[in-house]
Structure 1
């Protein structure tokens, strides 16, 4: 087994390699947890740890060199199978996810098309999933979610994006600026709606946080999908974070992340664990990126889906001030400030008029299913700030006070209460 580099890198090393600034964590990244299903959908992981076949003996490498190797990787062609699963410690979402995510219908009919990526992504918020992925440069990608009796695929080829659900025989189509805009902002490692689907996409997000509040080391080697790899370990230096450690297995030859594991500070199984079970860096067949709707398939264009989705959203919004529309306004509004920095940063959000986000004088304002979902992972707390409820997952936690403030972050319940006390 190769010698390990146990020395920590500085924040500057990671920032220089990835082109990010230390501790960048804008308030826009924090979502008020009534839409926790949306947060979960953006933090997918791979379940059972992939079997290793022994630790390879590789030349010694420093953490800085390994980060630079990831950043310098120019591999643009690959195909393979990725396993994904999530254990965020929240109740099963089922059809309820659609009613909690803004614009979701909960019945597979968002925007009139069950093939719409925004609708399908909620399925990745829990459980185990097998994905088949392929990429050929920045303009050609394919991600297929495999089921026992069906397959859902998102295919991008130039300025065309298709999504197809074989179970319902429905397709979704975007073209021109919409298609190229998705790809430009999210890259080939993600679905058109921005959800990571490969270890590389997860690694890019983690390395954005590699600043002064982060310890980055190399901790041995591994073999993933038949490839020799180094293990890069990222840990918060601060206390109070729900993140325990992030381990990224990096291909020793080409610098491509092959496996990503996020372990919560609370212990137990990984909350996020994503990795290839097989991978090939040869040029994929051109047919991987072509798609023609099967005969009889119902095709929905992106513009039509958007228009219908907006109408459905207006009809389904909660009437309470903390309904999805109100939360969207809060997340992008001026009443947001960030307490602390790095992994322990907490967003403080104040509701309009100081009204409690999840309460209303009118009974029935919050759908019973949604209230039951929220209550199932909420803890009542008190402090100098008054009283409120902490809604918790294994990663994202939020304190909603009875006087209309929200404190949310990748931090523990105690850290949220402390932040609320210090702000009062």
Structure 2
């Protein structure tokens, strides 16, 4: 071999080795799409940070989350989130498929192109979502309850209970709530102004008696309302029956009988306490027909229990309860996973937020001193634009 060719051949060998090394590194981070991988058989859905289960209080996040869902559910199988680097797909996060068929990721940035890949046990790609461009969600309302008292530039103690006929033995008061350590605690208390009196009530053919009570109900009707978006609360519920905690919305311009599109009550989450038979969260919509008769749809959703960890209850951990509200639907979620969707009755009018812990008259018989010491804990409330 002529001596003049040796440097050229050495250089070519080095380039080949470098290319092989680069290809190996790419294969390690991005599974190759073999013939059995079905592109577009999954969905990558972007939303604000509405998944944040945990035992302790934590600040809400401004980052964007992605829910990767595949029709072929294989609980525990690995799913990876990949970002387009411009020269190929790079794995930026890994997760396991939830029993609902979904995996939740947090995007590293909001400008790149992303896809999710479901892997086989051997690590090969078996299904791939279509690429989705990252995006941000604007914040319309936010309260982290970081002070020592309720922020009255955001919340007001609602002056009257609604509907009043269900709570003849209760009135609203700031004395039944407190703020400390970044958490709003909502409870109930005996009414000291009527401590020497007994309340007698009749409701739907039932009757009873009990002490007069103070309830908690905060609302943003004087400071904030919105039309369409994501409304979310991070909340740890009380434990037992006797009172119920709620995060809900009401129409800013009140109801128009016969036209629910002009405003409905949207109960994003309600919890009535545990029993031996159930410990389920509830969600409802309320409206009035042209004869001013009350209607509601919704109820308790036992299936939502599948969306939390088996070791968790609604009372021993914080969960994010949210509603995604558009002109066509209201989607109810727990920690980013859907448990109910309503498309028949949808408000298209501005709504304001409410937080409450109430004792309806029929609940008073279960309101023992032990239950009265309990409270629902609200970590944060946030509303994002759609």
Q: By the TM > 0.5 criterion, same fold?
A: no
> Which structure dedicates a bigger proportion of its chain to strand?
2
Larger radius of gyration: 2
TM-score (norm 2): 0.22
> Which structure dedicates a bigger proportion of its chain to helix?
1
